[in-house]
Amino acid sequence: MKKLKFLLFVLTIFFISCEKDKFEGPMLDNPNLEFAILEPLDILGSTDFSNNQNTYFKTSFSKQVDWKIKIKGLNSGSVKNISGKSDFIDQSNSLWDGSSTKIPFFIGEEDCLVELSFEIYDTIIETVINIQSPKLYDGANTILITDFENGFNPNFTGFFQAGCTKALSIGGGAGQGVNFLQQFGTCDWDWLIGYVDYYSTYWWNQDDLVNDPAEVYFNIMINGDSTISQTSNVPNSLFKLEFYEDENGDGYYDANTEDRYDYEFDVDWNGWKMMSICYNDVDKLVLATNGGDGVRNPSKISNVRTLLLANPDSGPAKADVDFLIWSIGSPILN
């Protein structure tokens, strides 16, 4: 009898312990649980982004949901998207440093519309946030080539075909700031519309690039119009990047003894887009005639040439550019 009582006691303790391991309370991802917003959307922190400040959003829900915060600049048109799946939003999952998901960048002293929406619910919450100062992308891990805010540096030389345009646009419509370089035209006798050489001697920042090609990214804003050729059914505008390496450090690129790397892509979109290319992915090597080491050496780049090309039979080409900048470790919009 004593043994039986002891066994019953042990079994009772066992079942009680098992019961305590069970989840107590409603399952937050239960599809049958009614969705409700438990606290109003709040905005905390600072929007003084130029001084490396951050802001974040705070609210909570009755269950786990897929949510999205869209921040749109009312002047710039810039967009930042933040999303997640949870029953709350706070500093851990909504921190914003002033960066953009889609360019152009946000500008200073700008009101932004904030929209909180949900994947399977019609509820939308809207509010307004004011940016005190915009995020500065030219920081410790970047090397700015040019943003055209101080005009076009005349030391950046190049060539554009007769009847084609390379001109500084001042006063709005830029991908960053207020100035950008217009590039467009039609050439019925050659693929080349025009090119510009951005020599490293005249880059805005004179810091050296690290020599690990996997860590170095070239970033450029390009404004396209996605015009499709009537003859070839492909985008009219072809953009090419050429990176010239000064292997011996004499300040001059010699095609006979030094390497060049090329990268091409179609401009098949409308409006501004940030293109970010890892130097390790610049796959086309133009090997020197009598030398060169065939090794990507970003720290030896002496010139970046940007070229706008188009099939002579295609018609007009367009690819305005803005904010040419190197970033180390990740693309400029990460």
For residues 93-114, give the mean pLDDT.
Answer: 93
- The Cβ of residue 108 has, within 10 Å, a number of other Cβ atoms equal to 16
Q: What secondary structure, in 3-state letters, does 242-293 show?
A: EEEECCCCCCCCCCCCCCEEEEEEECCCEEEEEEEEEHHHCCEEECCCCCCC
User: What pLDDT was estimated at residue 225?
Assistant: 84
Overall number of domains in the chain: 2
pLDDT per position as a tens digit, 173-226: 899 989 999 999 999 999 999 999 999 999 999 888 999 999 999 999 999 987
Q: Are residues 100 and 237 in the same domain?
A: no
Under 8 Å between Cβ of 200 and 289: no
Determine which helix (DSSP H) or strand (DSSP E) holds 301, and give its type and residue range: strand 301-309
207 found inside a domain: yes
Q: Are residues 260 and 146 in the same domain?
A: yes
Last residue of a domain, one of 131, 166, 188: 131
233 found inside a domain: yes
* Percent with pLDDT over 90 in the chain: 72
Closest by alpha carbon to 245, among 204, 200, 210? 200
User: What pLDDT was estimated at residue 61?
Assistant: 97
Which tokens sit at 62? 């009755």
Q: Which residue has the higher pLDDT, 171 or 26?
A: 171
Sign of CA dihedral 129, 132, 136, 140: negative
User: What pLDDT was estimated at residue 24?
Assistant: 45
Q: Are residues 42 and 177 in the same domain?
A: no
Q: Are residues 165 and 298 in the same domain?
A: yes
Give me the domain span that covers residue 53: 37-131
76 vs 64: CA distance, rounded Å: 33
User: What pLDDT was estimated at residue 139?
Assistant: 82
136 found inside a domain: no
Q: DSSP strand E in 3-152: where?
A: 37-45, 55-73, 79-89, 110-118, 124-131, 142-146
Per-residue confidence band for 17, with pLDDT thresholds at 50, 70 and 90: very low
262 found inside a domain: yes
Q: Are residues 111 and 62 in the same domain?
A: yes
Which tokens sit at 94? 């909504």
User: What pLDDT was estimated at residue 314?
Assistant: 79
Q: Are residues 194 and 320 in the same domain?
A: yes
Q: Which residue has the higher pLDDT, 317 or 24?
A: 317
pLDDT per position as a tens digit, 115-157: 999 999 999 999 999 999 999 998 889 999 999 999 999 999 9
Last residue of a domain, one of 94, 112, 131: 131
**Which amino acid is present at 321?**
V
pTM more than 0.85: no
Q: Are residues 170 and 81 in the same domain?
A: no
Last residue of a domain, one of 109, 131, 153: 131
173 vs 154: CA distance, rounded Å: 22
Q: Are residues 155 and 301 in the same domain?
A: yes
Residues 143-168, buried b or exposed e (16+ Cβ, 10 A)? Answer: bbbbbbeeeeeeebeeebbeebebee
Under 8 Å between Cβ of 272 and 222: yes
Q: Are residues 283 and 169 in the same domain?
A: yes
67 vs 61: CA distance, rounded Å: 10
6 found inside a domain: no
Q: Are residues 256 and 111 in the same domain?
A: no
57 vs 40: CA distance, rounded Å: 10
Owner of token pair 């025009």: 194
Domain CATH number, residue 209: 2.60.120.430
Per-residue confidence band for 6, with pLDDT thresholds at 50, 70 and 90: very low
333 found inside a domain: no
Domain CATH number, residue 45: 2.60.40.10
User: Residue 231: pLDDT above 70?
Assistant: no
Per-residue confidence band for 315, with pLDDT thresholds at 50, 70 and 90: confident
Determine which helix (DSSP H) or strand (DSSP E) holds 185, and give its type and residue range: strand 179-185
Highest mean pLDDT pick, 162-171, 229-238, 288-297: 162-171
86 found inside a domain: yes
Q: Are residues 191 and 308 in the same domain?
A: yes
β 317-318/124-131 pair status: unpaired
- Tell me the β-bridge partners of 128: 113
- The Cβ of residue 248 has, within 10 Å, a number of other Cβ atoms equal to 12
Region of 93 please: left (phi>0), alpha (psi -120 to 50) or beta. alpha
Q: Are residues 119 and 153 in the same domain?
A: no
